Amino acid sequence: GPLREHLPRAFVDQYLFGPGERVVLEGTMERVWRRGRWLWPFFWVASWSEMLFPESGADVPVTVDIRAAKERAQCHVWRRDFRFPSGRRRRFTSRMEYDERLRRVIELIGPAGTLAIDWDMTFEPPSMLRLDAAGWVLRLGPWRLHLPEWLLGSGRAIETADLSRPGNIRIQFTVSHPLLGDVFGYAGEFLLRRHRLSG
Protein backbone atom coordinates (compact mmCIF):
# COMPACT_ATOMS: atom_id res chain seq x y z
CA GLY A 1 0.00 0.00 0.00
CA PRO A 2 0.96 3.69 0.22
CA LEU A 3 2.85 3.08 3.48
CA ARG A 4 5.40 0.90 1.69
CA GLU A 5 7.37 3.81 0.23
CA HIS A 6 7.94 5.21 3.75
CA LEU A 7 9.22 1.95 5.26
CA PRO A 8 12.94 1.28 5.66
CA ARG A 9 14.14 -1.23 3.09
CA ALA A 10 14.83 -3.78 5.83
CA PHE A 11 11.13 -3.89 6.80
CA VAL A 12 10.04 -4.15 3.16
CA ASP A 13 12.40 -7.09 2.68
CA GLN A 14 11.32 -8.74 5.93
CA TYR A 15 7.55 -8.55 5.57
CA LEU A 16 6.57 -7.77 1.98
CA PHE A 17 7.60 -10.70 -0.14
CA GLY A 18 5.84 -13.62 -1.78
CA PRO A 19 6.34 -17.22 -2.90
CA GLY A 20 9.71 -18.04 -4.39
CA GLU A 21 11.64 -15.93 -1.89
CA ARG A 22 13.00 -16.35 1.61
CA VAL A 23 14.38 -14.00 4.24
CA VAL A 24 17.12 -15.00 6.68
CA LEU A 25 18.01 -13.01 9.78
CA GLU A 26 21.34 -13.91 11.40
CA GLY A 27 22.36 -12.33 14.67
CA THR A 28 23.04 -12.58 18.37
CA MET A 29 20.72 -12.04 21.29
CA GLU A 30 22.73 -10.06 23.80
CA ARG A 31 20.46 -11.34 26.53
CA VAL A 32 17.73 -13.96 26.81
CA TRP A 33 16.08 -13.81 30.21
CA ARG A 34 13.13 -14.99 32.24
CA ARG A 35 11.86 -14.06 35.66
CA GLY A 36 12.00 -16.26 38.75
CA ARG A 37 12.87 -19.91 39.28
CA TRP A 38 9.33 -20.60 40.40
CA LEU A 39 8.08 -19.82 36.88
CA TRP A 40 10.37 -22.45 35.35
CA PRO A 41 7.58 -25.12 35.13
CA PHE A 42 5.40 -22.71 33.13
CA PHE A 43 8.17 -22.04 30.60
CA TRP A 44 8.95 -25.75 30.40
CA VAL A 45 5.31 -26.55 29.55
CA ALA A 46 5.20 -23.63 27.11
CA SER A 47 8.20 -25.09 25.28
CA TRP A 48 6.10 -28.15 24.32
CA SER A 49 3.94 -25.98 22.06
CA GLU A 50 6.92 -23.92 20.90
CA MET A 51 5.70 -20.74 22.62
CA LEU A 52 8.50 -19.90 25.06
CA PHE A 53 11.35 -21.80 26.72
CA PRO A 54 13.02 -21.92 30.16
CA GLU A 55 16.64 -21.36 29.03
CA SER A 56 18.36 -18.02 29.49
CA GLY A 57 21.80 -16.70 28.61
CA ALA A 58 23.96 -14.04 27.02
CA ASP A 59 25.35 -13.72 23.50
CA VAL A 60 23.02 -16.38 22.08
CA PRO A 61 23.34 -16.91 18.30
CA VAL A 62 19.95 -16.91 16.58
CA THR A 63 18.78 -17.59 13.03
CA VAL A 64 15.31 -16.71 11.77
CA ASP A 65 14.23 -18.25 8.45
CA ILE A 66 11.09 -16.73 6.91
CA ARG A 67 9.34 -18.12 3.84
CA ALA A 68 6.02 -17.48 2.17
CA ALA A 69 3.56 -20.32 2.64
CA LYS A 70 2.89 -22.14 -0.62
CA GLU A 71 -0.87 -21.87 -0.33
CA ARG A 72 -1.13 -18.12 0.42
CA ALA A 73 1.14 -15.21 -0.44
CA GLN A 74 0.00 -13.25 2.63
CA CYS A 75 1.08 -16.02 5.00
CA HIS A 76 4.71 -16.39 6.10
CA VAL A 77 6.26 -19.26 8.04
CA TRP A 78 8.85 -18.16 10.63
CA ARG A 79 11.39 -20.71 11.90
CA ARG A 80 13.53 -19.49 14.79
CA ASP A 81 16.65 -21.28 16.03
CA PHE A 82 18.28 -20.26 19.35
CA ARG A 83 21.69 -21.86 20.01
CA PHE A 84 22.62 -21.49 23.69
CA PRO A 85 26.26 -21.62 24.86
CA SER A 86 25.39 -24.73 26.91
CA GLY A 87 24.77 -26.59 23.65
CA ARG A 88 21.00 -26.53 24.07
CA ARG A 89 19.03 -25.51 20.98
CA ARG A 90 15.51 -24.19 20.95
CA ARG A 91 13.59 -24.11 17.69
CA PHE A 92 10.09 -22.83 17.30
CA THR A 93 7.87 -22.24 14.33
CA SER A 94 4.96 -19.89 13.79
CA ARG A 95 2.85 -18.68 10.89
CA MET A 96 2.17 -14.99 10.33
CA GLU A 97 -0.81 -13.97 8.24
CA TYR A 98 -2.67 -10.74 7.65
CA ASP A 99 -6.39 -10.77 8.45
CA GLU A 100 -8.17 -8.32 6.14
CA ARG A 101 -11.32 -8.32 8.28
CA LEU A 102 -9.55 -7.57 11.55
CA ARG A 103 -6.83 -5.48 9.86
CA ARG A 104 -4.32 -7.21 12.11
CA VAL A 105 -1.44 -9.63 11.82
CA ILE A 106 -2.33 -13.06 13.25
CA GLU A 107 0.47 -15.31 14.48
CA LEU A 108 -0.33 -19.03 14.74
CA ILE A 109 2.00 -20.66 17.23
CA GLY A 110 3.46 -24.14 17.08
CA PRO A 111 3.16 -26.87 14.45
CA ALA A 112 -0.59 -27.30 14.94
CA GLY A 113 -1.36 -23.58 15.14
CA THR A 114 -3.98 -24.11 17.86
CA LEU A 115 -2.96 -20.93 19.69
CA ALA A 116 -2.97 -17.57 17.96
CA ILE A 117 -1.93 -14.04 18.86
CA ASP A 118 -3.57 -10.98 17.34
CA TRP A 119 -0.89 -8.31 16.78
CA ASP A 120 -1.45 -4.60 16.34
CA MET A 121 1.39 -3.49 14.06
CA THR A 122 2.36 0.20 13.99
CA PHE A 123 5.12 1.92 12.04
CA GLU A 124 6.69 4.90 13.83
CA PRO A 125 8.79 6.91 11.35
CA PRO A 126 11.50 6.93 10.49
CA SER A 127 12.67 3.48 11.58
CA MET A 128 10.60 1.75 14.28
CA LEU A 129 8.03 -1.02 13.97
CA ARG A 130 5.92 -1.90 17.03
CA LEU A 131 3.90 -5.06 17.50
CA ASP A 132 1.57 -5.12 20.50
CA ALA A 133 -0.42 -8.24 21.38
CA ALA A 134 -4.13 -7.48 21.19
CA GLY A 135 -5.30 -10.87 22.46
CA TRP A 136 -4.88 -14.65 22.54
CA VAL A 137 -7.21 -17.01 20.72
CA LEU A 138 -7.49 -20.78 21.14
CA ARG A 139 -8.37 -22.36 17.78
CA LEU A 140 -10.03 -25.77 17.86
CA GLY A 141 -11.29 -26.62 14.40
CA PRO A 142 -14.04 -24.12 13.55
CA TRP A 143 -14.27 -22.85 17.15
CA ARG A 144 -12.48 -19.77 18.48
CA LEU A 145 -12.07 -19.07 22.19
CA HIS A 146 -10.62 -15.73 23.30
CA LEU A 147 -8.37 -16.17 26.33
CA PRO A 148 -8.00 -13.58 29.13
CA GLU A 149 -4.75 -11.64 29.50
CA TRP A 150 -4.24 -12.86 33.07
CA LEU A 151 -3.93 -16.42 31.76
CA LEU A 152 -1.10 -15.98 29.25
CA GLY A 153 -0.04 -12.35 29.58
CA SER A 154 0.73 -10.14 26.62
CA GLY A 155 3.66 -9.53 24.33
CA ARG A 156 5.30 -6.60 22.64
CA ALA A 157 8.02 -6.50 20.04
CA ILE A 158 9.97 -3.48 18.83
CA GLU A 159 12.05 -3.62 15.67
CA THR A 160 14.35 -0.74 14.82
CA ALA A 161 16.02 -0.51 11.42
CA ASP A 162 19.53 0.96 11.31
CA LEU A 163 19.18 3.50 8.50
CA SER A 164 22.95 3.92 8.29
CA ARG A 165 23.49 0.17 7.78
CA PRO A 166 20.96 -1.30 5.32
CA GLY A 167 19.74 -4.72 6.37
CA ASN A 168 20.58 -4.28 10.06
CA ILE A 169 17.70 -4.55 12.53
CA ARG A 170 17.55 -4.43 16.32
CA ILE A 171 14.84 -6.60 17.87
CA GLN A 172 13.45 -6.37 21.41
CA PHE A 173 10.75 -8.74 22.62
CA THR A 174 9.06 -8.83 26.04
CA VAL A 175 6.28 -10.93 27.56
CA SER A 176 4.41 -9.25 30.42
CA HIS A 177 1.74 -10.36 32.86
CA PRO A 178 -0.80 -7.93 34.40
CA LEU A 179 0.08 -9.09 37.92
CA LEU A 180 3.72 -10.22 37.61
CA GLY A 181 5.12 -7.57 35.28
CA ASP A 182 7.76 -8.47 32.69
CA VAL A 183 8.48 -12.22 32.83
CA PHE A 184 10.44 -13.08 29.66
CA GLY A 185 12.36 -11.30 26.95
CA TYR A 186 15.29 -11.01 24.62
CA ALA A 187 17.10 -8.33 22.63
CA GLY A 188 19.72 -8.38 19.91
CA GLU A 189 20.87 -7.22 16.49
CA PHE A 190 20.42 -8.99 13.18
CA LEU A 191 21.58 -8.79 9.59
CA LEU A 192 18.77 -9.46 7.13
CA ARG A 193 19.24 -11.02 3.72
CA ARG A 194 16.57 -11.73 1.14
CA HIS A 195 17.07 -14.65 -1.24
CA ARG A 196 15.30 -16.04 -4.28
CA LEU A 197 14.64 -19.75 -4.04
CA SER A 198 15.87 -21.93 -6.86
CA GLY A 199 13.42 -23.98 -8.83
Query: Measuring CA to CA, how many Å separate 178 from each of 10, 13, 80, 118, 129?
Result: 33, 34, 27, 18, 23
Whole-angstrom distance, CA of residue 194 vs CA of residue 23: 4
Q: How many domains does the chain have?
A: 1
**Mean pLDDT confidence for 130-140:** 92
Q: Which domain holds residue 95?
A: 2-196
Q: Which helix (H) or strand (E) holds 195?
A: strand 181-196
Whole-structure pTM value: 0.90
**Mean pLDDT confidence for 99-126:** 89
Whole-angstrom distance, CA of residue 105 vs CA of residue 160: 18
CATH code for the domain in which residue 66 is found: 2.40.128.20
The pLDDT of residue 72 is 63
Whether the pLDDT of residue 73 is over 70: the answer is no
The pLDDT of residue 124 is 97
Q: What is the mean pLDDT of the chain?
A: 91
